[in-house]
Amino acid sequence: MDLPVDEWKSYVFQKWSLLPKSIQDTISTADALRDIFLHSSSLLQPEDEMFLNNLSRGYFVGKDPNAPPFYREEGNKKFQKKDYVGATVLYSKGISHSRPHTVDISLCYANRSAALFYLDQYEMCLKDITRAQMHGYPERLQPKVMLRKTECLVTLGRLQEAGQTIRDLESNFAAKPTLAAAQFQILQRNLCRLKRKVQEKGNLTETYTATLTKTFEDMDLREENEQISSASSSVSLCIDPLKGRYLIATKDILPGELLVKEDAFVSVLNPGEMPPGLHHGLENKWDTRVTNGDLYCHRCLKHTLATVPCDGCSYAKYCSNECMQQAWDLYHQIECSLGGLLLTLGIFCHIALRSTLLARFEDASKVIRKLCSEISNKDMCSPESENLVQILNYDLGEEGERHGKTVKIPVPGCDINGKYENNYNAVFNLLAHTENHSPEYKFLCALSVSALCRQLEAADSKKPETAAPPALYSELNIWGVAMLKHMLQLQCNAQAITTIQETALSGSKENNVSNSRQIRLATGIFPVVSLLNHSCSPNTSVSFISTVATIRASQQIGKGQEILHCYGPHYSRMGVADRQQKLRSQYFFDCGCPACQKEKHRAVARPRWEAFCCNQCGALLQGGDILSCGSMSCTESVSRDHLTSQLQDLQQQVGIAQELLRSGKLEQAVQLLLECRHDAESFLSTEHSMVGEIEDALAQTYAALGDWQKSATHLQKSLRVVEVRHGPSSVEVGHELFKLAQLFFNGFAIPEALNTVERAEKVLMVHYGPCNDEIQELQKMKSCLLNSPPIPLGPSL
Ligand SMILES: [Zn+2]
Ligand SMILES: [Zn+2]
Ligand SMILES: [Zn+2]
Ligand SMILES: [Zn+2]
């Protein structure tokens, strides 16, 4: 995903292995990126490009005029089965393959408006009706969408507009008495009904309440930092020869305090597990699967069921025309024709290109000059003078005597006034770790970027009238070097943008207990977030709303303490050896965080969520390869291998049960899960994560069966396991509490529900702040519970 597809990777590695030793050495030992780039670029042959282009053609990113009728038909099938979400996605696919101002596109929009109407998405429905009309919706079908429009307007309380639409419809009829008699009657009946509805609503003056607007209080930094944009004044930027740049607390910070709120400098949507339209053979020509690319805006990453496609390709889809236009102006006019190539070369390469495209908007000449000087400086620097620069750089903005003259050198990435901002200069100064990457990897990146540069050149010469700003093409080699630098930076500085995806559980709509899982939505660069160092037990929590990252304190942080963030390997999810290995290979450092120190030096016993227990007496087992019972009166002992294989068998059974649950075979699932639990009790500690998983699955199954009480009992057991593993105020516990709150709520257990809602709110607020969807849902539940009689919530969409 991040890196190029395997075929291109192995092709390049093969090419590398066949290079003469002398050339390999030149590239391996070059420490200037320019040399690596130019050498590699000179080795890119036409047959290499041909190979790459063939791979790119596997991604169908153009518009296929035969696809819209197919997708509309498939969408209609889903619509008939009342799967309105499924239908909207298929209509969207049809829209993305249609040319503007065709009957195809207008029909797809109109059909999508119907599906959105049934999903109660009236605003989006109205927009789609306007789009259908804008693209030439057939005159004879107009009454249908006009009626739908009126229904939406009435429901939204926009009565004047509704009245106007009715009048328009009526005068339309009068003008064209060509409608079939039956059709005319239906229409008239509907009109009468809607007129009455408008009147009724009008009588209930102003009972209509505005749609819930999200409160953005506390979503802004209380006081912005003068030295670092997007950060709060509670932190300050420091630099140290060993740690590099890092942030510390300038005052005592409480849990939940917002420390950083930063919009990505650049981000690229992760196309999802299934790349769009990758087809082997013709039977899968038109893909009906749903990917992230169908559900999230390619620019702002907002979730939407009503995407608007790019006019030029079928893969870039947006939440609105505004997003489409912005993306086009900023980068997509260059990227549009390169879709297949960018999917082949992976997200890192795509981000590298997009970063340089965005750089053009920040006084391109200055950036280019900076690039030139930076690149040649590096070449000219003797080791001595390079050292000097580094020493001076570490002298954090302080004036000092150096070699007889006063110098003031700011922290790398800061501007001349010492301010660190979310801009290209800061991005450019993120560490690339050139010396740490393997020569093969550098060759892969350099060759991929070279191929991309050639395509840019070719695309440019094909259509000179839409020529991109000359700065990009005349200096393509410099931008190539910059892109190579970005690709190398990304391994350590890419930030995964995640979101919580809610999946409704199997069973009927009323069984409204959702299961949430974190998915990786996009990859981005956040220069301010990148200032934070890693800890396996961090004191902050990061979350995202569209492309904005927020970092909140997850615990109390004392004045002077470092602000730490977890790069991925968290102590509650991974053992110390695996963490160390991961951090060394990806981020090139040895972690010395308190969690690692404790685990390394004190050979701590395995955590409770991995512990086995005695089959005879239930006490915990202890030991290495051979485990013996911890109880004095028991002589039981057993090999670890035996227990591990027993655990694997159990895991497999649980997997089968989860599959049964997903396919709605609930009774069978309960049966198997109860057997699994019985099995687990015989050799796992009660706090083993497998026990938690089984309890969670049981809770889900009982919820699907509508047995709230049993479901809640099992979920409480699962919650205890999560608590032991992740800590009582962890985000994981927050999500479990959210589920439990839904259960009590649906089961009308008012005191328990209120209590759990409040607990969940408290925990989640620290991690996410008030704008989070789950928090908003909890608040709705609370107000509902406080204003009893209790009413179950409608199915969440
Ligand atoms: Zn958008
Ligand atoms: Zn496009
Ligand atoms: Zn660590
Ligand atoms: Zn025992």
CA of 721 to the centre of ligand 4 (A): 22
Q: Could you give the CA distance from residue 455 to residue 306 in angstroms, rounded to a whole number? A: 32
- Indicate whether 792 pLDDT > 50: no
Least confident of 180-194, 572-586, 668-682, 700-714: 180-194
- Indicate whether 205 pLDDT > 50: no
Closest CA to 413 of 566, 542, 228: 228
CA of 596 to the centre of ligand 3 (A): 4
Residue length of the chain: 797
Ligand nearest to the CA of 297: 1
CA dist list (Å): 273 to 62, 297, 520, 555, 786? 20, 17, 10, 35, 43
- Indicate whether 647 pLDDT > 80: yes
pLDDT at residue 598, as a whole number: 83
For residue 100, what is the DSSP state? T
Q: Indicate the burial class of 94 (C-beta count within 10 angstroms; 0-12, 13-18, 19 or more).
A: buried
CA of 313 to the centre of ligand 2 (A): 4
**Percentage of residues in the chain with pLDDT exceeding 90?**
47
Least confident of 141-150, 464-473, 537-546: 464-473
Q: What is the pLDDT of residues 155-176, one digit of tens each?
A: 888 888 888 888 888 777 766 6
pLDDT at residue 276, as a whole number: 47
CA dist list (Å): 726 to 355, 601, 608? 37, 22, 11
Q: Could you give the CA distance from residue 487 to residue 427 in angstroms, rounded to a whole number? A: 12
Ligand nearest to the CA of 589: 3
CA of 605 to the centre of ligand 3 (A): 17
Closest CA to 717 of 686, 675, 739, 741: 686
- Give, rounded to a whole angstrom, the gap between the first and last alpha carbons of the chain: 29
- Indicate whether 117 pLDDT > 90: yes
Q: Which residues are in the CB-under-5-Å shell of ion ligand 3?
A: 536, 591, 593, 596
Average pLDDT, whole number, for the chain? 83
Question: How does residue 607 score in pLDDT terms, banded at 50, 70 and 90?
Answer: confident
CA of 314 to the centre of ligand 2 (A): 7
Ligand nearest to the CA of 342: 2
**Percentage of residues in the chain with pLDDT exceeding 70?**
82
Q: What is the pLDDT of residues 219-264, one digit of tens each?
A: 576 788 888 989 999 999 988 888 888 999 999 999 999 999 999 9
Q: What sign does the dihedral 586-591-593-595 (CA atoms) show? A: positive
pLDDT at residue 551, as a whole number: 94
* Greater pLDDT, 220 or 428: 428
Q: What is the pLDDT of residues 379-427, one digit of tens each?
A: 433 333 333 333 333 333 344 444 434 344 567 888 877 889 898 888 9
CA of 762 to the centre of ligand 4 (A): 40
Establish whether the linkage from the previous residue to 177 is cis, with ω within 30° of 0.
no
Q: What is the pLDDT of residues 648-696, one digit of tens each?
A: 999 999 999 999 988 889 999 999 999 999 999 999 998 899 999 999 9
Question: How does residue 75 score in pLDDT terms, banded at 50, 70 and 90?
Answer: very high
Ligand nearest to the CA of 569: 3
CA of 123 to the centre of ligand 2 (A): 26
pLDDT at residue 517, as a whole number: 75
- Indicate whether 214 pLDDT > 60: no
- Indicate whether 773 pLDDT > 70: yes
* Greater pLDDT, 627 or 668: 668
The most confident of 197-206, 297-306, 378-387, 511-520, by mean pLDDT = 297-306
Q: Could you give the CA distance from residue 32 to residue 29 in angstroms, rounded to a whole number? A: 9
CA of 64 to the centre of ligand 1 (A): 24
Contact 525, 430 (CB under 8 A): yes
pLDDT at residue 400, as a whole number: 40
Q: What is the pLDDT of residues 497-537, one digit of tens each?
A: 988 777 654 444 444 455 677 888 999 999 999 999 999 99
CA of 728 to the centre of ligand 4 (A): 30
CA of 322 to the centre of ligand 1 (A): 8
CA of 97 to the centre of ligand 2 (A): 11
Ligand nearest to the CA of 596: 3
344-347 contacts, C-beta under 8 A, 24 or more apart:
344/4, 344/5, 344/8, 344/52, 344/55, 344/56, 344/58, 344/59, 345/4, 345/8, 345/448, 345/451, 345/452, 346/1, 346/2, 346/3, 346/4, 346/5, 346/448, 347/1, 347/2, 347/268, 347/270, 347/523
Tokens of 149: 């429009």
Phi (first) and psi of residue 119, to 5 degrees: -90, 10
Which secondary-structure segment (H or E) carries 268? Answer: strand 266-269
Domains of the chain: 1-60+340-378+419-460+473-494 (no CATH), 66-202 (1.25.40.10), 608-787 (1.25.40.10)
CA of 479 to the centre of ligand 2 (A): 22
- Indicate whether 371 pLDDT > 70: no
Report strand pairing: 533-534 vs 564-565. Answer: parallel
CA of 453 to the centre of ligand 2 (A): 19
